[in-house]
Amino acid sequence: MNRPRQQIINAGRALLDLKLQNTHSGNISLKVGRRIYMTRTGSRKGHLVPADIIDFNVSDHLKAIPRISSEAGSHRGILEYSNAVIHSHSIAATLLSYFETQIIPVDWPGQFHLKSIPVLEFKSPAGSPEMEKEIPDILRSHPALVVKTHGPFVRGISLDEALFHMALLDFSATILLHLKSLGVNPPVMNISDYPTIKPLKILGQPKVVSDISIVKTITQIASDLFELQLSPLFTGSISLKREKQLLISPRATIPRYFKPVIYQVPLMVETDHFFTKLHQAVYLHSGARSAIFTHSPFGLIQAFSALSRGQKAIIPVDAEGKILYPSIPVLNPAEHFREIVRQAVRHKMVVLSGLGVLSIGDTLEQTIHHCSSLKNIGLIKTRYEMLKRDGKDLIKWE
């Protein structure tokens, strides 16, 4: 099988796993040279086979291509200046499109990578000529947009980047949708309020870890982050301490059919990369042996909710959460690393408002227990507060 088709097959599977499609919705395209590879209309995106992916020349007449998607014109217009396009039916983004003319993320990942997401309204919001004209024009200056009542389109220089943009859009929309449902106006936090976060650069010649047991463990943890949606695709980081070495896997939230990259670097190596420095701080200022950083959506939702009430901690309402994590501190993301680590040691994890969650432990299996528990704590508390806010008793069936 050629590489473009395999990339599209993996992307379709990831979109289904992330619940960004139903079985047959959406479409994916990838440009390689003068050829465009695109999913056929009506294909099952989570179970694509090579025959589901057609390829044609960029100058071919679209109407002459059998079973081509109705969105092919929009895709081809975008592929004039980009290399990959994905259209999905993200529920959160589609719901927000009924009420917003643009989606402005309140979380750092969305602010940093997407900035603002236009919402476009069309008389015919599926494969229309006006969409073919306007969508490529708008996506020249934005990595993502949402068609009102229909769903998002994203572009990327690669299919991985397009997948990242789609996952991030759904993540930011999910946070906004729940905050609006809770009636929470989150504290205004702009990019300037967050620490300066630079692209990851491993100094020198880092050793790529190939130890089978370590790779197996981190692959399992990374796939759990993905399957439980504890952080958007290709975000978050996982680390282990080995004597004076830091083993770190960046962009760690990936499914099993993607391979993690694990670097070994000296624990004391100088870096200006925020997340690497945070992992280093865990081992320099505590006895922990492992750490995971995630951009937990329901952790961030509840952190914003707590701050809006003048509270500096998430207090669980479920029984297990109350026992294991009676108080989960919420800190300013610009707080000193030593204080972040101190709070993480005391409470097993700490939320950095708008940014994410640091969890620590003796093993990765123990550490992921903390951040996976936070998802349930945050989800239960969010839904409980939404029901309570209605001011009505739940309907009781006889």
Q: What is the full per-residue pLDDT of the chain (398 aa) written as tens digits?
A: 579 999 999 999 999 999 999 999 999 999 999 999 999 998 999 999 999 999 999 989 888 898 888 899 999 999 999 999 999 999 999 999 999 999 999 999 999 999 999 999 998 877 788 999 999 999 999 999 999 999 999 999 999 999 999 999 999 999 999 999 999 988 778 888 888 887 776 655 678 898 999 999 999 999 999 999 999 999 999 999 999 999 999 999 999 999 899 999 899 988 889 999 999 999 999 999 999 999 999 999 999 999 999 999 999 999 999 999 999 999 999 999 999 999 999 999 999 999 999 999 999 999 999 999 999 999 999 999 999 887 655 555 55
State residue 32's pLDDT score: 96
CB 28 within 8 A of CB 86: yes
Residues 133, 219, single domain; the answer is no
Residues 301, 235, single domain; the answer is yes
Decide if 398 is inside a domain: no
Tokens representing 205 are 């010649």
State residue 191's pLDDT score: 82
Indicate the SS3 state at residue 87.
strand
State residue 83's pLDDT score: 98
Residues 49, 126, single domain; the answer is yes
| Positive/negative CA dihedral, 262, 268, 270, 272 | positive
> Could you tell me the pTM of the whole model?
0.95
Indicate the SS3 state at residue 350.
strand
Q: What's the total number of domains in the chain?
A: 2
State residue 395's pLDDT score: 55
Decide if 397 is inside a domain: no
Residues 53, 109, single domain; the answer is yes
State residue 63's pLDDT score: 84
Decide if 12 is inside a domain: yes
Pair type for strands 349-352 and 328-331: parallel
Pair type for strands 35-39 and 27-32: antiparallel
Residues 150, 10, single domain; the answer is yes
Q: Enter the DSSP assignment of 192.
A: G
Decide if 396 is inside a domain: no
Residues 83, 200, single domain; the answer is no
Residues 144, 261, single domain; the answer is no
Q: Is 326 exposed, middle or buried (0-12, 13-18, 19+ CB in 10 A)?
A: exposed
Residues 62, 203, single domain; the answer is no
What domain range is 218 assigned to?
191-388
Decide if 357 is inside a domain: yes
Q: What is the DSSP string of 12-46?
A: HHHHHHTTSS-SS--EEEEEETTEEEEEPTT--GG
Domain boundary among 161, 182, 203: 182
Residues 110, 60, single domain; the answer is yes
Residues 169, 198, single domain; the answer is no
Residues 159, 240, single domain; the answer is no
Distance CA 329, CA 307 (A): 11
State residue 359's pLDDT score: 98
Residues 270, 129, single domain; the answer is no
What CATH number has the domain bearing residue 237? 3.40.225.10
The continuous run of DSSP H or E covering 130 comes out as helix 129-139
State residue 92's pLDDT score: 97
State residue 66's pLDDT score: 87
State residue 205's pLDDT score: 61
State residue 207's pLDDT score: 83
